[in-house]
């Protein structure tokens, strides 16, 4: 058994694990650690936790030290430098006439590297831009192309629900969402209705998917043949949440359909939830990162 801590380097970023090196650390404290990007200052998102040796993520590095006042001043100074670097990079992008949009700039804690995050429609030849930036800042430069989801996570904003973006509020990592989820949840496959501000499928489609998956196991789907107290019929509408089924009876197909509770019917032959191939092709872009 050993103690580990979880550290974040962004407000709502991924949590990375480190060895507290015998220190008892609390959530919210800042620590200096070594990462693949260099020396970084991060915030403790998960305090000391005892886990089994087999569960310890490898390699597990020890923290260098708990951040002090001088370290936090360096962090604050780097934030100011990032603002200036952002403006300079925007000017350089215009000068080189590159079709790219700068999203964010990050200095590593030790100042040995500056990362510039950008979006673009396709590949961008930014070699000359890197040379220009390296000449100005006299340090290592890394340009990293990101997707629209990451752009939304970095910039933040309000979703169609009126609340701040989930990805910018509490989602540490993106989880896969699909058109199939929207279909199974009975949502309209109108891109405007199922996509977020980033133009991709809403992350919240994932939140209740497990509940819908369970309900689909016990609820006949649209098109299913069922036996009702009034005879056999086809399900023409199903409300998974209320458990209500609208059934067109075989004995009176031209009559108004009747509504039953799931508990009142017996499944004879279930149907499949299908998505038209042409429709799916149009919506495929919504699943991309």
Mean pLDDT of the chain: 91
pLDDT over 80 (residue 87): yes
What's the angle, vertex CA 75, arms to CA 73 and CA 78, rounded to 5? 110
Rounded Cα distance, 112 and 74, in Å: 13
pLDDT over 90 (residue 219): yes
Q: Does residue 82 sit in the same domain as residue 62?
A: no
The domain boundary residue, chosen from 126, 146, 166: 146
Provide the domain count of the chain. Answer: 3
Rounded Cα distance, 260 and 258, in Å: 7
The domain boundary residue, chosen from 67, 88, 116: 67
CATH number at residue 127: 3.30.300
The domain boundary residue, chosen from 51, 67, 83: 67
DSSP 228-279: ETTEEEEEEEEETTTTEEEEEETT-TTSPPEEEEGGG-EEEE-------HHH
Q: Of 88 and 22, which is predicted with more confidence?
A: 88
User: pLDDT value at position 289?
Assistant: 65
Sign of CA dihedral 63, 69, 72, 77: negative
The SS3 call for residue 151 is helix
Q: What tens digit of pLDDT does each residue of 239-260 get? A: 999 999 999 999 998 899 999 9
Domain residues for the domain of 62 are 2-67
Residue 107 near residue 117, CB atoms below 8 Å: no
Residue 165 near residue 152, CB atoms below 8 Å: yes
Q: What tens digit of pLDDT does each residue of 4-60 get? A: 999 999 888 889 999 998 899 999 999 999 998 889 999 999 999 888 877 777 788
Q: What tens digit of pLDDT does each residue of 109-143 get? A: 989 999 999 999 889 999 999 999 999 999 999 99
Q: Does residue 109 sit in the same domain as residue 128?
A: yes
Whole-number percent of the chain with pLDDT over 90: 73
């Amino acid at each position: 058994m050993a103690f580990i801590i979880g550290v974040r380097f962004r407000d709502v970023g991924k949590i990375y694990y480190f060895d507290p090196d015998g220190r008892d650390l609390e959530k919210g404290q800042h620590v200096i650690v070594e990462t693949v990007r260099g020396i970084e200052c991060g915030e403790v998102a998960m305090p000391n936790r005892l886990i089994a040796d087999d569960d310890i993520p490898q390699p597990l590095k020890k923290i260098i030290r708990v951040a002090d006042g001088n370290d936090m001043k360096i962090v604050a100074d780097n934030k100011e430098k990032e603002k200036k670097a952002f403006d300079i990079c925007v000017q350089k992008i215009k000068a080189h006439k590159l079709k790219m949009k700068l999203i964010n700039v990050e200095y590593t804690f030790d100042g040995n590297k500056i990362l510039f995050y950008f979006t673009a429609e396709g590949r961008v030849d930014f070699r000359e831009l890197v040379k220009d930036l390296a000449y100005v800042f006299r340090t290592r430069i890394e340009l990293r192309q990101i997707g629209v989801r990451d752009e939304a996570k970095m910039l933040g904003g309000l979703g169609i629900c009126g609340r701040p973006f989930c990805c910018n509020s509490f989602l540490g990592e993106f989880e896969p969402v699909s058109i199939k989820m929207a279909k199974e949840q009975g949502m309209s496959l109108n891109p405007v209705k199922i996509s977020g501000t980033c133009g991709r499928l809403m992350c919240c489609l994932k939140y209740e998917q497990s509940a819908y998956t369970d309900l689909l196991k016990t609820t006949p789907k649209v098109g299913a043949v069922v036996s009702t107290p009034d005879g056999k019929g086809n399900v023409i509408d199903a409300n998974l949440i209320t458990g209500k089924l609208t059934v067109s009876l075989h004995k009176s197909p031209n009559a108004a359909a009747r509504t039953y509770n799931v508990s009142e019917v017996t499944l004879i032959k279930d149907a499949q939830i299908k998505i038209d191939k042409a429709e799916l092709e149009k919506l495929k872009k919504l699943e991309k990162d």
